[in-house]
Chains A and B, each alone.
Chain A
Amino acid sequence: MSAPVALAKRWAPEIALVVILLILPLVLPYIDGTYDIANRILDWGLFGLGFDLLFGFTGLLSFGQAAFYGAGGFVAAYILVAPFTNNAVVALIGGTVAASIFGVIIGYLSLRRTGIYFAMLTLAFGEMFFFLDISPLARWTGGENGVAGVPEPHLGFGIFSIDINDPGGLYWLLVVVFVLGFWLARRIVASPFGAVLRAIRENGARVAAVGHDVPKYKLTVFVIAAAYAGLAGGLLGLLQGYMPPDAFYLDTSGQLVVQTIIGGAGTLIGPLVGATVWLYLYTLLQNIAGIGAWWKMILGVIFVVLVTVFRRGLCGGTLLLWRRPVARPALEPVAETAVGEQARVAAEPRRSTQRPPPTGPIVLATRNLSKRYGGLTAVDDVSFELREGEIRAVIGPNGAGKSTFFNMLANVIPPSSGTIEFKGRNITGLGATMVCQRGISKSFQINQIFPSLTVRENLRIAVLARAYGKFHPAMLRAVDRDATVNAGIDAAAASVQLAKRLDTPAVELAYGEKRRLEIGLALATRPQILLLDEPTAGMSPVERADTVRLLRSIASGVTIVIVEHDMDVVFGLADRITVLFNGRKIAEDVPDAIQANPDVRAAYLGSQAAHEPA
C-alpha cells in the first residue's frame, strides 16, 4: 500500500465526515432541512461524542449528562450576558471548564459505586443540578426563564475577529467544532488511554489486576464526557440566542441516551445519526394527522425494539454488514502439540531430580499471616519465604486455605493479621493494582480475559500497565504504533504460544488457548513473581502436558507460586512444596521429601491419629 493510500485510509472517517458536511448545505433545500435543524443535530452530535466515550467505549451508562450540558451552557451564556467579555470563544472555554469541574465532583461521588448504582446516582445528581438551577441559583440563571439575550457569536481578537450573525455562519462554526471534536474522540479511542477504557467495559476487575488504576481512568473519561457536554451546552446558547433551563431536564439526558442507542453506541458517529433520526421523525410524524400526539411514543417503541434485538443501532449494524463479507479465514489448528505428547511427558524426569532448589535472595515472604471469617480461621499464622527463581507449589486438600492464602499474596483480599513483604518491603494492603505495578502478577483460576477483544488487544492491556504505569493520560498517540508495546505483545504471545492467534477475538479461542491467554495476561506485565491459580484447571491431559512445558519455559527469570490440584503438574514443576491443612502450614520441603512425609499423607488420605482429639 502506498503512503498516500494508507494515510487516506487512516483518515477515512474524518474525510467522509467533512465531505458530507461540506455538501450538506447544497442538499438542505431538497430534503426539507434548514440550517437550524442541521445546527441542532450537530450540537447533539457533539454532546454525544463525549457520552459515547463514556458509555459506548467504557460501558458507564450515565443518566445525568444534562447536568454538564446545562452547566456549560449557563456559564457560557452568563459570561456573555453579564458581560465579562464579548468573545464567544472565551465564553465557550469558560463553560467547558466549569462543566469539567462539575464532572470531577459528580464523577468522584457517582463512581464510588459501580454498575447499576452509577446510573441511579448520575440520574440523581443530574436532577440536583436542575433543582439548583431553577431556584437557589435563579439570580444568575434566570430560573425557569433561562438566560435571554445571548449575543451572536463574536470570535477572535482585534483585526482577526469574525462576527457570526446568521444560521449559515453558525453552521460552519458547528462544523469546525464538531469535526475537531470527532477527530479528538477518534484519537482518544485509538490511544493507549482508549485501549484501557475498552478493556474496562469488558472486565474492569481484570484491568485493575494487571495494574491499571481503574477508578482514575473512569473518572478521567467521565470528565472528558462532561467537557464535551459543557462545550455543546455553550454552543446551544449561541445557537438560540437564549439559554433555556430545559438543558438541565432529565429528558435531555434521556434524549441523549436514546439517540446514542438508535444511532449506535461505540461508533462515535452514532449519536449524530441518532439525533438526525430523532429530529426528522419528530418533524415528519408531527405533521401527520392522528399520529402527531403519538410521535414520541413511537420513538419509545422503536427504542425498546432496538435495545432488545438490535443493540448495535444503525451505525453499529451498518459497520457489521460492511465488515461481514470479509469472512475471517477459518481457524486452522495450530500444531503446537505433537502426537504422542502425553507418553513423552509422562516419561520426562521430574524436576526435583533435575536441579537443586534455588538459593537466591528471598523475594517474597509472609509473616504470621492469618485470615479469619467470623469464627472460621481460613488461614492460620502462616509464615513463608520464597527465593528468587524458585517454583513453589502450594497444595492441600479442599478447604485447606490455599485460595485465601493466594488471594492475600496478590493483595486481592486483606489479611486479618500478619504482613506480606516483597523484596523486604511491606506490601500488605497495597491493593492488587499497586502490587501488580511492583511486580507481582496473578493468573486466575477462572478465566478473566476480555472476550470481545482480540488476543493482541488482550495482551496489550497488560503490556500497557508495565509500559505506562498505573495511570497515564496518553490520549493523542496511536497505541498500535508504539513499538515498545508491540514488542511486548509479541513476546508475551510467543511465550504462551498464541503468536498465530493474535488477531482472533478471545471469545473464539479453544479452551486451552483461553487458559494460555489467561496466563499470558499475567505474564505480559513482566512480573518478577507470577502467581498461578490452578493453571491447568479444566484442561485435557494433552493440554495439561503442554501447559507444564509452557510453565517450565516461562520459569527462567520468573519466580512462580502455583496453586494446583493436579499432583503430576505439582511434582513435575515445583522446586519446593508448601502444604496447607486446615489453614495451617504442616510441611514445606522438596517434592521427594513431601511425598515421604507422613503428616502430608495423613492430611490427604485422612488418618485416625491425625483427626482424633488429643
Chain B
Amino acid sequence: MISWPLFFSQVFNGLTLGALLVLVAMGLTIIFGTLGVVNFAHGALYAVGAYAGFVTYEYTGSFVAAMAAGAIFLLVVGVVIERGLIRLYYQRPPEDQILVTFGITIVLVEAIRAIFGGLARNIPAPSWAAGIVNLRVTLYPTYRIDVLAIVGASLVLLYFVLYRTRLGLIVRAGIEDQLMVNILGINVTRTFLTVFGLGAMAAGFAGVINAPIVTVTPDMGADILVQSFVVVVIGGVGSFWGAVVGGLIAGEILSLTAMIQPAYSQVMLFAVMALVLILRPQGLFGVEGRQ
C-alpha cells in the first residue's frame, strides 16, 4: 500500500531527478540549437565531471571544491573537444557529427575505466547538507533539497545568460536561423566554442552534484544521455522551457512509476515519449517545421 509520505517522497525524488535531467538536457539542447550538433558525448562529459569531482574530493575533502572542479575541468575539456574535433564537423553531415561524438564517448568512458577501474566510487554528501528535513508531508534528505536549490539557481543563471546577455541573444538567434547569424557578421566560431564549453560545463557540474545520490561508475553517463534525449524529444529541441518541462515530466514519470511498479519505470518513460511522437511529433514546446 502506498502511503502519503512515500508518495510525497517520490514526488520530491522526481523533482530532484528531473532537475538534474533539465540541467543535462539544457546543455544538449543549446548545443544542438546553436551548433547544429547532437552531442552523443554529453553523457560521457557528465561522467568525466563526476570523476573530476571525485578526485578533487579525495584530495581536498571539500564538496564545494569538487563542484567547482567538475564544472571548470569540464569547461576545459569542452573547449579542447570543440577546438580539436567538433569544429572540423560543422560542414559535415549530421550522421558524421553523431559518429564523432559517439567516438568521443568511447574514448572518454574507456579512459575513465582504464584509470579508475570499473568499480563504483562515491562522493559523500557534504556535511552542511547531511541529515533529514521534516517537510510535514514527508521526511526528506537535506542534500536532495539542496540539489534542487543548486540546480534551480544554475537554471536561473543560465536563463539570465540566455535571455539577458549579448551572447544569449546570439545563441537564441542561432537556434532560429544559423545562416542569418553568420551573414550578420557575428563571430560564430567563438560563440560555438563558448556554447559547447558551457554545455559541457553544465553536464560536468550535474555529474558532481548527482554523485552523492547515485554511485560514480564509468558507464553512469549512458542512462542520463538516453534520458536527456527523451527530455529533448518530449520538450522540443532548442527550447529552454521545453527542456525544463520535459525534464520535470521525465523525472516524475521515472520516480512515480518506480513507486507503483518499479519494473516499468524506465519503460514508462519511453512509452510517454512514443505518445508525444504520435500526438505532437515536434515536442511540447517545439516549433513545427524546424529540423
The answer to whether A119 touches B106, judged by C-beta atoms less than 8 angstroms apart, is no
Interface 9-mer from B65-73, B146-154, B178-186, B264-272: B264-272
Cβ contacts under 8 Å, B237 to chain A:
117
Cβ contacts under 8 Å, A120 to chain B:
38, 229, 232-233
Other-chain contact of A257, B88, B99, B114 (Cβ < 8 Å): B99
Hey, what's the 0/1 contact readout for B254-277 against A, CB within 8 Å counting as 1?
Answer: 000000001110110011011001
- Chain B nearest CB from A108 CB (Å) reads 9
The answer to whether A61 touches B266, judged by C-beta atoms less than 8 angstroms apart, is no
A127 close to chain B: CB less than 8 A: yes
By DSSP majority rule, is chain A's interface helix, strand, loop, or mixed?
Answer: helix
Hey, what's the 0/1 contact readout for B99-115 against A, CB within 8 Å counting as 1?
Answer: 11011111100110110
- Chain B nearest CB from A551 CB (Å) reads 32
Hey, what's the 0/1 contact readout for B122-133 against A, CB within 8 Å counting as 1?
Answer: 000000000000
- Chain B nearest CB from A123 CB (Å) reads 6
Interface 9-mer from A43-51, A301-309, A330-338: A301-309
Other-chain contact of A261, B88, B99, B273 (Cβ < 8 Å): B99
Other-chain contact of A127, B98, B110, B226 (Cβ < 8 Å): B226
A227 close to chain B: CB less than 8 A: no
Q: How far is the CA of A121 from the CA of B262 in the complex (A)?
A: 23
B291 close to chain A: CB less than 8 A: yes
Cβ contacts under 8 Å, B230 to chain A:
124
Interface residues on A, range: 35 or more
A113 close to chain B: CB less than 8 A: yes
The answer to whether B229 touches A124, judged by C-beta atoms less than 8 angstroms apart, is yes
- Chain A nearest CB from B259 CB (Å) reads 15
Cβ contacts under 8 Å, B38 to chain A:
116, 119-120
Q: List 21 A-B contacts (CB under 8 A).
A: A61-B98, A61-B99, A109-B278, A112-B278, A113-B281, A114-B291, A115-B291, A120-B229, A124-B230, A124-B273, A128-B267, A131-B266, A136-B263, A254-B106, A261-B99, A296-B110, A300-B103, A303-B103, A304-B107, A307-B96, A308-B100
- Chain B nearest CB from A364 CB (Å) reads 27
B32 close to chain A: CB less than 8 A: yes
Q: How far is the CA of A115 from the CA of B290 in the complex (A)?
A: 11
The answer to whether A307 touches B100, judged by C-beta atoms less than 8 angstroms apart, is yes
Cβ contacts under 8 Å, B113 to chain A:
293, 296-297
- Chain A nearest CB from B234 CB (Å) reads 11
Given contacts A121-B273, A307-B100, 7 further A-B contacts (CB under 8 A): A250-B222, A257-B99, A258-B106, A261-B99, A293-B113, A296-B106, A304-B103
- Chain B nearest CB from A208 CB (Å) reads 16
3 shortest interchain CB distances as A-B pairs:
A300-B106, A297-B110, A128-B270
A294 close to chain B: CB less than 8 A: yes
The answer to whether B277 touches A109, judged by C-beta atoms less than 8 angstroms apart, is yes
Cβ contacts under 8 Å, B85 to chain A:
304, 308
- Chain B nearest CB from A404 CB (Å) reads 15
The answer to whether A119 touches B98, judged by C-beta atoms less than 8 angstroms apart, is yes
Q: Closest A-chain residue to B99, C-beta based? A: A307
B61 close to chain A: CB less than 8 A: no
Q: How far is the CA of A296 from the CA of B278 in the complex (A)?
A: 38
The answer to whether B281 touches A303, judged by C-beta atoms less than 8 angstroms apart, is no
Q: How far is the CA of A250 from the CA of B94 in the complex (A)?
A: 20
Cβ contacts under 8 Å, A136 to chain B:
263-264, 267
Q: Which of A63, A123, A294, A301 has the most CB of B within 10 A?
A: A123
A132 close to chain B: CB less than 8 A: yes
Q: Closest B-chain residue to A250, C-beta based? A: B222
Q: Which of B85, B99, B110, B291 has the most CB of A within 10 A?
A: B99
Contact A294/B110 with A131-B267, A132-B267 known, Cβ cut-off 8 Å: yes
The answer to whether B266 touches A128, judged by C-beta atoms less than 8 angstroms apart, is yes
Q: How far is the CA of A308 from the CA of B81 in the complex (A)?
A: 13
Q: How far is the CA of A307 from the CA of B230 in the complex (A)?
A: 26
Cβ contacts under 8 Å, A63 to chain B:
102
Q: Closest B-chain residue to A297, C-beta based? A: B110
Cβ contacts under 8 Å, B267 to chain A:
128, 131-132, 136
Q: How far is the CA of A477 from the CA of B103 in the complex (A)?
A: 38
Q: Closest A-chain residue to B28, C-beta based? A: A120
Contact A300/B107 with A109-B274, A124-B273 known, Cβ cut-off 8 Å: yes
The answer to whether B94 touches A125, judged by C-beta atoms less than 8 angstroms apart, is no
Contact A127/B99 with A250-B226, A293-B113, A301-B107 known, Cβ cut-off 8 Å: no
Q: How far is the CA of A121 from the CA of B232 in the complex (A)?
A: 10
Q: Closest B-chain residue to A105, C-beta based? A: B274
- Chain A nearest CB from B170 CB (Å) reads 22
Q: How far is the CA of A303 from the CA of B226 in the complex (A)?
A: 22
Cβ contacts under 8 Å, B40 to chain A:
119
The answer to whether A127 touches B266, judged by C-beta atoms less than 8 angstroms apart, is yes
Q: How far is the CA of A297 from the CA of B94 in the complex (A)?
A: 24
Hey, what's the 0/1 contact readout for A228-267 against B, CB within 8 Å counting as 1?
Answer: 0000000000000000000000100010011001000000
The answer to whether B233 touches A116, judged by C-beta atoms less than 8 angstroms apart, is no
A135 close to chain B: CB less than 8 A: yes
Cβ contacts under 8 Å, A114 to chain B:
291
Q: Which of B102, B107, B233 has the most CB of A within 10 A?
A: B102
Q: Closest B-chain residue to A61, C-beta based? A: B95
A59 close to chain B: CB less than 8 A: yes
Q: How far is the CA of A48 from the CA of B254 in the complex (A)?
A: 33
- Chain B nearest CB from A323 CB (Å) reads 23
A154 close to chain B: CB less than 8 A: no
A179 close to chain B: CB less than 8 A: no
Cβ contacts under 8 Å, B270 to chain A:
124-125, 127-128, 131
Q: Closest A-chain residue to B266, C-beta based? A: A131
Hey, what's the 0/1 contact readout for B216-232 against A, CB within 8 Å counting as 1?
Answer: 00000010001001101
- Chain B nearest CB from A201 CB (Å) reads 9
Interface residues of A in 271-304 (CB under 8 A from B): 293-294, 296-297, 299-301, 303-304
Cβ contacts under 8 Å, A121 to chain B:
229, 233, 273, 277
Hey, what's the 0/1 contact readout for A58-87 against B, CB within 8 Å counting as 1?
Answer: 010101000000000000000000000000
- Chain B nearest CB from A105 CB (Å) reads 9
- Chain B nearest CB from A474 CB (Å) reads 27
Cβ contacts under 8 Å, B103 to chain A:
258, 300, 303-304, 307
Q: How far is the CA of A299 from the CA of B40 in the complex (A)?
A: 17
Contact A299/B99 with A124-B229, A250-B222 known, Cβ cut-off 8 Å: no
A311 close to chain B: CB less than 8 A: yes
